[in-house]
Structure formats: structure tokens, C-alpha cells
Amino acid sequence: MNVFITGGCGFIGSHLAERLLERGDRVQVLDDLSTGSMQNIAHLVGRPGFSYRIGSALDVPLVTELVDSADVTVHLAAAVGVKLIVEKPVHTIETNVRATEVVLGAAARKQKLVVVASTSEVYGKSTSIPFREDQDLQLGPTSHSRWAYACSKALDEWLALAYLREKGVPVIITRFFNTVGPRQTGQYGMVLPSFAAQALRNEPITVYGSGEQSRCFGHVRDAVEGLLRLMSTPTAIGEVFNIGSTQEVSILGLAEQVRDAAGSRSEIILVPYGEAYAAGFEDMMRRVPDVSKLEGVTGFRPRTSLDVIVRDVVEDQRSRMAAAANGGVPFMSARR
């Protein structure tokens, strides 16, 4: 298969590219390096079947050319990370909505399959746990920037399904829950790499709010496996799928687990949300996926345990720090 990945220098995109190459597919990636990085694909550059373009997913001629030349497009390019989203709401809305329009418009020319990456954020403040794909979404007010992300991704989903119904474009929608693993950076606010870096430096581990809020962290390897299986399942077309782990942990519990795994002396401190993000910031207390639809259609559900995930992330942060201390570029040598 020829697979085109938008956002292919990002965290999930680079893992997907790696897996596709391993199984003999050809991969083209497009990335504007806004949150993605060349380091993420450094180990893939030069491999047979791999090519990359640095450019924007809003560039219609470029995206059209790349969608046309592929069998499948996986659209991962998006503004991500709660911190970034709260700080740059215009960028978030414009990037997320326009890029998806461009990709779907290009795919409509030759009815090419598009996988549109969405997010568990679309469930918003819903408390009906576990979240099922067909349940109502419950977003907060427009005065809170956080919900702009959920809304922009929900619009992406509507747009994708509209392209299928009106123009016959085959689409699959994947709602990724908290996906973590090697190569994810804490720079955009993601909790696990941030905690791992703090623990390894013996700095205070910053738990926002009470720390009683919980999440389910899924390994990126499992997220990629789910995505690959969906891509080759005809009955997945026109459907929305949760992809994530169902092992729930409180953020305070996560901080303790990371501290233990890192052998750290860090203290764990509670930081009010208003200090961490902005006044009036709304968090959700729980977020757990129902993955029975994914399992029913593909026979697969993410199973990597939190122990393994935390260990992988701590080791990844450790090797990044060692590489940075040696003036080298993380991953290039470690991942070959």
C-alpha cells in the first residue's frame, strides 16, 4: 500500500510510518513541523519506500498531489495538547477545520480512503462512563478555549461523514484517548512525559487540581495497531471508533507510579488549575473509552499495561536527557 500521513513527523504519525515501513508499505509524510519534529523521523529517512515533505496541510495543490498518489490518507495533522490549545485558540480552530476540509476535498476527486484522527476530547464533560461512540457529546461554553478543540474535531468528524454521504468518499474516524509512549514530548502539556521529565530531574511533579481526576493511558503501539486494522477493514468505513486503554488511573496515582519507576526523590505538589492553565479552566474528572466496537470489528483491543507504559516513557525521557547532555540528537542513534 501507498500511505500518505499528514502530521507524519508527529508522535503518533511517526510511529505509524515506522510500522507501515516495517510491513513493506510505502509511506509519504507531510508535516509543517509546528509540533512535529524531524527527530521523530530521523531513523526513517533514507529507508526504502519512505519520503517526506515539509509543508502545510492547508496547501491545496501539495495535499492534492499527495492524496492522489496514495491508496490511503491518514489525516493526523492537527493542533494538539491542551496547553497549546488554550494558548492559541485561533490557530487550533483554523488548523483543525481547514486542513480536514483540504484533505477531504482532495480525496473526493478519486474517492480515496481517508482515516480522520479525532479525539476523546469530543466527549467533553460527559459523565456517562465508559464513553461510547454513539453517545451525546457534552461540550462547555464557547467562552472556554479548551472546548474549541473538541468542537473543531467534532466538526472534522461531521465533515468526514458528510463527504461520505454526499460525495461517496470512504472515511473512517478514530477517536484517540490519552495516547502516550516514546517520542511524545511534554512541551505541549501532555502529562506523562512531563511527569517523567520532572521525576528524572528530581524536580517537583506538578499535579494539577486535586489529582483525583483520572485518565486511561494507551500505548502508542496499540493505537497504531488499532488504526492499521481499521484501515484494512471494509466494514469500518463510515464508522467512528474509540481507540484507547480502559485501565484507569488517577493523576495523583500516576505521579506516584512515575516517581517510583524513575527512582526519583521528587516531591509531588498540587497546582491549582487557574495557575496551570487560565482562570476558569475546566477539566474532566474521568475519561474511559468503551472499546467494544473496535474489538468487535477488528478483534483487537489495546492491552499494554500502565506499568509497561510508564516504564517505556521514563526510559525514553532518560535517553533524551542523556542525548541532550551529550550534545547529540535524541533518537537518531537510539532508535536505529
Catalytically annotated residues: 149
**Sole window of 2-10, 200-208, 238-246, 325-333 interacting with ligand UDP (rule: CB under 6 A):** 200-208
**Sole window of 26-34, 43-51, 150-158, 206-214 interacting with ligand UDP (rule: CB under 6 A):** 206-214
Residue with smaller CB distance to ligand UDP, 30 or 84: 84
Is-contact 92 79, C-beta < 8 A?
A: yes
Our measurement of the distance from residue 224's CA atom to the centroid of its chain's CA atoms, rounded to an integer in Å, reads: 10
H helix and E strand count, the chain: 12, 13
C-alpha cell at 190: 501532555
Contact call for residue 268 and ligand UDP (CB under 6 A): no
Residue with smaller CB distance to ligand UDP, 70 or 190: 190
At which residue does the C-alpha cell 493523576 appear? 251
C-alpha cell at 81: 495538547
Residue with smaller CB distance to ligand UDP, 4 or 177: 177
Helix axis angle for 191-200 and 306-325, nearest 10°, is: 60
Contact call for residue 178 and ligand UDP (CB under 6 A): yes
Residue with smaller CB distance to ligand UDP, 211 or 330: 211
Contact call for residue 213 and ligand UDP (CB under 6 A): yes
Contact call for residue 310 and ligand UDP (CB under 6 A): no
Contact call for residue 189 and ligand UDP (CB under 6 A): yes
Reduced to 3 states (helix: H, G, I; strand: E, B; else coil), residue 336 is coil
Beta-carbon contacts of 127 under 8 Å, excluding residues fewer than 6 positions away, are: 285, 286
The phi and psi torsions of 109 (rounded to 5 degrees) equal -60, -40
Beta-carbon contacts of 297 under 8 Å, excluding residues fewer than 6 positions away, are: 230, 233, 235, 236, 239, 241
Contact call for residue 194 and ligand UDP (CB under 6 A): yes
**Sole window of 46-54, 88-96, 185-193, 315-323 interacting with ligand UDP (rule: CB under 6 A):** 185-193
Contact call for residue 251 and ligand UDP (CB under 6 A): yes
The phi and psi torsions of 204 (rounded to 5 degrees) equal -60, 140
Binding mask 58-97 for ligand UDP (x = CB under 6 A): ------------------------x---------------
The C-alpha torsion from 24 through 26 and 31 to 37, rounded to 10°, is: 30
Residue with smaller CB distance to ligand UDP, 121 or 239: 121
Contact call for residue 15 and ligand UDP (CB under 6 A): no
C-alpha cell at 29: 509524510
Amino acid letter for position 40? N
Is-contact 50 95, C-beta < 8 A?
A: no
**Sole window of 54-62, 89-97, 187-195, 218-226 interacting with ligand UDP (rule: CB under 6 A):** 187-195
Among 208, 231, 241, 259, binds ligand UDP (CB under 6 A): 208
Count the site residues for ligand UDP by CB under 6 A.
14
Q: Shortest Cβ distance from residue 178 to ligand UDP (Å)?
A: 5
Contact call for residue 220 and ligand UDP (CB under 6 A): no
Closest listed residue to residue 145, CA positions, set 91, 98, 95? 91
Chain positions contacting ligand UDP, by CB under 6 A: 82, 178, 189-191, 194, 206-209, 213, 215, 251, 283
